[in-house]
Amino acid sequence: MTLFVLSTLIYLEKRLLNLSAIYKQQALLSSALNWQSIAHFNMHFIYFAFFVFQLGNIQTTVDYFVQFEEAQTEQTDLLDLLVQKVSEERNVSISLPMQGVSGEIGIKEEILVDEVSKEHVKLTNSKRKKSQRVCEICGKIFARSDAMKIHMRTHTGERPYICEICGKSFIQSSALVIHMRTHTGEKPYICKICDKSFIYSSALVIHMKTHTGEKPYICKICDKSSIHLSALVIHMRTHTGERPYICEMCGKSFIQSSDLDRHRKIHTGERPYICEICDKSFIQSSDLQKHRKTHTGEISYICEICKKSFTYKSSLQRHKQKHLKET
């Protein structure tokens, strides 16, 4: 009897290993299985284990052992039919070699797992696509409806957030909050190296490159590098000849908007930069800075031929022409 019990327990352990694979298949194919059959199969197994450990009646144990074998075979046949059904419905060929201890019944579950996983991915992608919002104007895709709503304002021109101080309007509230710093003087982003502060975090990121020397934006034509992407875009126009900013008064065109702004002052007569010493006014601040040197006596440009000094670079260039004529 002892030998029989020991052999039976060893066999039971082996069966448990094979059953784990079958149960996994049952879980994957639960929608197609007959759960009454599964319950019947499981009860046979429970009764079998119970009688083995109780050892109440050897013959009864053997009877349930036989029933267990038949039930397992029946269950495996059911799974084979389901695999065939999946194969036919999906028009794929599925090979299920037998595996296990000493050639025992087992199902290579990876193939079915792969098939079920594919169906899960399709379902997940389908749900995701249904939840996505697509702009009917430009085709841009958004995961959230609130982001889609904000984006639509770029097409409709709606700018509901208005500054009470200057009247400037914005598409979203966060942009208005940042804009208000231009009025309050708040500059929360501070450089840890030179203590210079900025309104925008992006401005601080760009500023840090002046300390590191990083110039990541490189012209592919002349290899000139820039700290700012916008500077590279403007520089590229010197190669392409593009001058998109046009004066509506005289038709003169410019590479960048700031050049057009300065040019307009010629037509309007506006000279906002005034020397605090002599009250002379200038169109742009750089001209005022150069003018101040005439009062301070600061010498910036020296002729390398005769060592004569000049306040303005343009004066030095004119002076050099005289040397060229002499030679």
The CB density around residue 173, as the number of other CB atoms within 10 Å, is 11
162: phi then psi, degrees, rounded to nearest 5: -115, 135
Tell me which amino acid residue 318 is. Answer: R
- Nearest residue to 181 (alpha-carbon basis) of 202, 198, 161: 198
For residue 86, the model assigns a pLDDT of: 44
For residue 172, the model assigns a pLDDT of: 92
Please check whether residue 107 is in contact with residue 22, taking contact to mean a CB–CB distance below 8 angstroms.
yes
CA distance 72 to 78: 10
For residue 255, the model assigns a pLDDT of: 94
For the chain (length 327 residues), average pLDDT per consecutive 10? Answer: 50 54 46 43 48 46 48 48 48 41 40 49 55 85 89 92 92 91 91 91 89 91 90 94 94 93 89 90 85 81 85 84 80
CA distance 30 to 57: 36
CA distance 79 to 119: 19
- CATH-assigned architecture of domain 273-326: 2-Layer Sandwich (3.30)
CA distance 240 to 286: 27
Q: Where are the domains of the chain?
A: 2-109, 273-326
For residue 24, the model assigns a pLDDT of: 47
Determine the 3-state secondary structure of 215 from DSSP: coil
Determine the 3-state secondary structure of 322 from DSSP: helix
